[in-house]
Amino acid sequence: MKVLVIGAAGMIGRKLTARIAADEAIGGTPVSDLVLADVVAPSATEGPIPADTIAADLSRPGVAESLIAGRPNLIFHLAAIVSGEAEADFDKGYTINLDGTRFLLEAIRRAHIEDGYVPRLVFTSSIAVFGAPFPEEIGDEFHLTPLTSYGTQKAVGELLLADYSRRGFLDGVGIRLPTIAIRPDKPNKAASGFFSGIIREPLMGEEAVLPVADTVRHWFASPRAAVGFLLHAAAMETSSLGARRSLTMPGVAATVAEEIEALRRAAGDKAVALIRREPDETIARIVAGWPQTFKAERATALGFTADRDFDEIVATHIADELGD
Amino acid sequence: MKVLVIGAAGMIGRKLTARIAADEAIGGTPVSDLVLADVVAPSATEGPIPADTIAADLSRPGVAESLIAGRPNLIFHLAAIVSGEAEADFDKGYTINLDGTRFLLEAIRRAHIEDGYVPRLVFTSSIAVFGAPFPEEIGDEFHLTPLTSYGTQKAVGELLLADYSRRGFLDGVGIRLPTIAIRPDKPNKAASGFFSGIIREPLMGEEAVLPVADTVRHWFASPRAAVGFLLHAAAMETSSLGARRSLTMPGVAATVAEEIEALRRAAGDKAVALIRREPDETIARIVAGWPQTFKAERATALGFTADRDFDEIVATHIADELGD
């Protein structure tokens, strides 16, 4: 099986490709060939699978065609401008998150017309497709009313993925990722960065800023769980999806207070004391529009599995990022 | 107030512009100026309002800019390739229904950046944004899972309308029209044509084909009610919409059998006898994916009003199209 990863240089992309390179297979099917693309050339993977790394901007016409020239059987489309940046730069967000996705879908459709090509396409969407007001728990049939341009672009991507799948041009699965915690790297421009920061920095003996109230509840998955979702979406049977190709991933619902208690159990009061409360009205207002808890019954029934609780999310971070 | 109608040559566009020309005002505000655009030049309206008629293809770059050059305060965007044609011609549907809408939104955004322009934009969406399986009654928070490319393009339009409104580039209202009955003209390429045909043709003494079972239930509005929705969307206060800019319009839920009984009450058994049952599996399968009944509570609370029942829909057709 030939695999293409678009957005391979990002945090999830790197973890995904490292896992594929280590496993040498996805869902029991050996991977013969790996193409890793991003706007900056991704690092090569270690291991026996031959891997090409390509610097390519999907939002430029013709690039999608060249990326699928080798007719990968499986494509992960992870490339995106994050929410904060897509909000700050309207044109850039639409160009990359919407046009880029559409160029990819169109390149696949033209290849389908040419030679019957029908790849599995795993598209990373986000819970940012949802916007307040919400019911207490958000079910699988709740409408998408994004409150950011990023969420809008992801919701449009979901609609296109479903239509192109229904038409038989590709076999798409969209996965709505929870907020990823703990992010191992320094905060990107996402307003959600503090959810990771208040765990990551104290574990390193550094101060972290908490801009919102302890009562804020949100929906999380570890990077390891996110990679698990992607691989499951790549290998799953899709006939039961019908025309509804995008799924809210299961996650862990936790308040900031619960995050802090998980940190205390893992690293003690000294670590917790490094969290400095510094209310930020802008961030608080953005976060107030975010979903808190989902049912995610469909994805769970289809075999996607979340972290058990926030303690496991912290333990995963310590095991994967901090050695011991 | 300057008004631009894009898609003015279509059935609803013609009725809308005739009504505006007759009323000389919308929601109490006098109309000073009417620009009517479509791919073929619309007919001029009668009455004292100066009207320009323009043949313009919105899907061609630059056309949207020229249409809004006079900075209309109110824009009706009715232009679309219908469902059957958008399904048959993938490229044409996406080009007109998606790219065309996006060109319009982008032209408005650039004008906004240039001179602070913020028009009211009334966008006609459709209940085709919904796809089976459904609950018995579809509420205002049910997700959009279109089963046609047309429905997909309309759902994308709704998302973009909401984002551009949230950003303050325009003041958008999307209205999800029920299936329009009775259409006065010969069937277009829509698979829903028979819902009108089985009333329209018998009223003219002509035979009509019924391709589905009598038990099929669907959601209807008369052309007159649809024009009422458009005018209400043009004049309503939008602050209460928040970020959720598209509304399912109220309608009449009726089965084919109820349609036929309304025809019998209006025109007798002789008219009903002109309906010839000729089951068509393709149409039956398409129709099975369509919604049957909505709650439409939000639109009703916001002052949109539907026809009372199918008898009124038949009576409206007779009054508006057949003289006496």
Q: Where are the alpha helices (DSSP H) in chain A?
A: 11-23, 63-67, 83-88, 90-93, 101-115, 149-166, 193-203, 223-235, 256-272, 281-288, 297-301, 310-321
Window B:154-213, CB contacts with A under 8 Å: 155-156, 159-160, 162-163, 166-167
CB contact under 8 A, B142 and A146: no
Q: What is the CA radius of gyration of chain B?
A: 19
The pLDDT-based confidence of A38 (bands split at 50, 70, 90) is very high
Residue B191: predicted pLDDT: 79
Q: Tell me which residue has tokens 């891997």.
A: A51
Q: In the sheet where B252-255 sits, what is the strand order? A: B179-180, B217-221, B252-255
Q: What is the pLDDT of residues A5-16, one digit of tens each?
A: 999 999 999 999
Chain CA centroid to CA B92, Å: 19
Contact A149 B156 (CB under 8 A): no
Cβ separation of A156 and B159 shorter than 8 Å? yes
Q: Do the beta carbons of residue B150 and residue B126 sit within 8 Å? A: yes
Q: Are strands A171-177 and B246-248 parallel, antiparallel or unpaired?
A: unpaired
Question: pLDDT tens across B257-301, in order?
Answer: 999 999 999 999 999 999 999 999 988 988 888 899 999 999 999
Q: What confidence tens digit (pLDDT) does each residue in B53-84 have?
A: 999 999 999 999 999 999 999 999 999 998 88
Mean pLDDT of chain A: 95
Average pLDDT over residues A157-161: 98
The class that CATH gives domain A2-177+222-250+294-306 is alpha beta
* Nearest of B85, B86, B38 to residue B58 by alpha carbon: B38
Q: For residue A187, is pLDDT > 70?
A: no
Q: Which of B159, B160, B246 to mutate to test the interface with A (most CBs of A within 10 A)?
A: B159
**Of A56, A76, A73, A52, whose CA–CA distance to A65 is shortest?**
A56
Of A142, A145, A159, the CB nearest to B244: A145
Q: Which of B105, B106, B156 to mutate to test the interface with A (most CBs of A within 10 A)?
A: B156
Q: B143–A145: do the CB atoms touch at under 8 Å?
A: no
User: Structural domain boundaries of chain A?
Assistant: 2-177+222-250+294-306
Q: Rounded to a whole number, what is the distance in Å from the CA of B178 to chain A's nearest CA?
A: 19
Element (H, E) at B89: none
Cβ neighbours, 10 Å, residue B282 = 9
Give the span between the Cα atoms of A243 and B129, in whole angstroms: 13
Across the interface, do A243 and B131 touch by the CB < 8 Å criterion? Answer: yes
- Measured between CA atoms, how close is A173 to chain B, in angstroms? 14
In angstroms, rounded to a whole number, what is the distance separating the alpha carbons of residues B55 and B79? 12
| % of chain A exceeding 90 in pLDDT | 90
SS3 A65: helix
Residues in chain B where the model's pLDDT stays below 50: none
Whether the CB of B270 is below 8 Å from some CB of chain A: the reply is no
Q: Which residues in chain B touch residue A155, judged by CB atoms under 8 angstroms apart?
A: 159
Inform me whether the C-beta atom of residue A244 falls under 8 Å from chain B C-beta atoms: yes
pLDDT for B84 equals: 85
CATH tag, B2-177+222-250+295-306: 3.40.50.720
**Distance separating alpha carbons of residues B40 and B54, to the nearest angstrom:** 8
pLDDT of B114: 98
Q: What is the pLDDT of residue A324?
A: 60
B150 has catalytic annotation? yes
Name B4's Cβ contacts closer than 8 Å, sequence gap at least 6: B35, B37, B67, B68, B70, B72, B74, B75, B76
CB proximity under 8 Å: A 85-104 to B: 90
Q: Do A143 and B146 touch (CB under 8 A)?
A: no
* Mutation for B interface: A156, A164, A298, most B CBs within 10 A: A156
Q: Are residues B121 and B170 in contact, defined by beta-carbon separation less than 8 angstroms? A: yes
CA distance B152 to chain A (A): 6
What percentage of residues in chain A have a pLDDT greater than 70? 99
A317 vs A15: CA distance, rounded Å = 13
- Quote the minimal CA–CA distance from B48 to chain A in Å: 42
A140 phi, psi to nearest 5 deg: -75, -10
Instruction: Give the per-residue pLDDT at A192.
Output: 86
CA-nearest of A32, A72, A16, A46 to A228 is: A16
pLDDT of residue B230: 98
